[in-house]
Amino acid sequence: MANTYPRIDLTRGTGPQGHRARMRARVLANGAHTLADYEILEMLLFAGVPRKDTKPLAKGLIGHFGSLVDVFRAPTQALRAAGLKDVTIRILRLPGVAAERLASSEQRERPTLSNWEQLMTYLEQALEGGIPGQFRLLYLDNRNRLLADEATPEADSLAERNRAIAIRALALHATALIGFHISPTQPPADLSQSARLLDFAMRPLSITLHDVLIVGTGRPSSLRQEGLL
């Protein structure tokens, strides 16, 4: 069967001597963020294509596959057909592996709390070091990923406390909150009232109070589900 991927000539344009050294010096001086997509690919190819100018190859690969990301995602067969050796293909797999590792690490550090099961799993772990009587807030982003889990600020009044919470939420770029009161016995009598005041205070900032929970022994109870919020 005929090869459907045009071969890219790896021998075109050896380029000026010292080009690789100048590229590395540029990154050291200005940072990798200043590189164009083809230049990032060009530098990645240094390790797999020794002693040749990799700029034409980098530009050719991006032109052929459509983008830098598409080059990284290209099937091995397609990259081989384009003329790359296996050692070079393995090098081009490194950015994807690194991205997966970073995403996995971020998921561990910033769990998503978008449903009841995920929230219960998180709270089980959070309660291991919880202080009875403490009220804590989970600050979430617009994808319900946890930004911070913190005790409510100390304040002389609910208004001052809510103001401090608002300032903290804005600093974190949070778009939603979940509160939970750690109580082995009875929660404060004014918990639902203070929760409603917090909800009211967050609305002008487009910050949603998803729920306030009472946790401790037994199954957590939700003020939202009980119609108290």
Full DSSP string of 151-216? EPPP-SSHHHHHHHHHHHHHHHT--EEEEEEE-SSPPPTTHHHHHHHHHHHHGGGT-EEEEEEEES
- Statement to judge: residues 90 and 182 lie in one domain: no
Q: Band the pLDDT of 20: cuts 50, 70, 90.
A: confident
Q: According to the model, what pLDDT value does residue 12 have?
A: 45
Q: Amino acid letter at 208?
A: T
- Statement to judge: residues 70 and 141 lie in one domain: no
Q: Which residue has the tokens 């009161």?
A: 181
Domain containing residue 68: 19-109
Q: According to the model, what pLDDT value does residue 6 have?
A: 60
How far, rounded to the nearest angstrom, does the alpha carbon of residue 26 sit from its chain's CA centroid? 28
**Looking at 79-83, 212-216, 217-221, which range is the least confident one?**
217-221
From CA 1, how far away is CA 184, in angstroms rounded?
Answer: 72
Query: How many domains in the chain?
Result: 2
- Statement to judge: residues 203 and 174 lie in one domain: yes
Of residues 189 and 48, more confidently modeled: 48
Long-range contacts of 57-60 (CB under 8 A, 24+ apart): 57/8, 57/10, 57/12, 60/8
- The verdict on residue 193 lying in a domain is yes
**Looking at 18-27, 85-94, 131-140, which range is the least confident one?**
18-27
**Contact in structure between 168 and 208 (CB atoms under 8 Å):** no
pLDDT over 90 percentage in the chain? 14
Pairing, β 146-151 against β 176-182: unpaired
- The verdict on residue 5 lying in a domain is no
Of residues 202 and 12, more confidently modeled: 202
- The verdict on residue 13 lying in a domain is no
Domain boundary among 87, 109, 131: 109
In this prediction the pTM is: 0.53
What is the Cβ-side half-sphere exposure of residue 93, based on CA atoms within 13 angstroms? 10
**Looking at 17-21, 143-147, 215-219, which range is the least confident one?**
17-21
pLDDT over 70 percentage in the chain? 83
* Phi-psi domain of 93 (left: phi exceeds 0; alpha: psi -120 through 50; beta: other): alpha
Q: According to the model, what pLDDT value does residue 14 have?
A: 44
Q: Which of 16, 22, 11 is nearest to 57 (CA)?
A: 11
- Statement to judge: residues 104 and 74 lie in one domain: yes
**pLDDT of 105 strictly over 70:** no
Q: According to the model, what pLDDT value does residue 10 have?
A: 45
What is the CATH number for 167? Answer: 3.40.140.10
Q: Which residues have CB under 8 Å from 121's CB, separation 6+?
A: none
Q: What is the chain's Cα-based Rg?
A: 27
Q: Residues 187-212: pLDDT tens digits?
A: 666 788 888 888 888 999 999 999 98
Mean of per-residue pLDDT scores for the chain: 81
- Statement to judge: residues 175 and 215 lie in one domain: yes
**Contact in structure between 113 and 146 (CB atoms under 8 Å):** yes
**pLDDT of 11 strictly over 50:** no
Domain boundary among 59, 79, 109: 109
**pLDDT of 117 strictly over 60:** yes
**pLDDT of 35 strictly over 80:** yes
- Statement to judge: residues 36 and 84 lie in one domain: yes
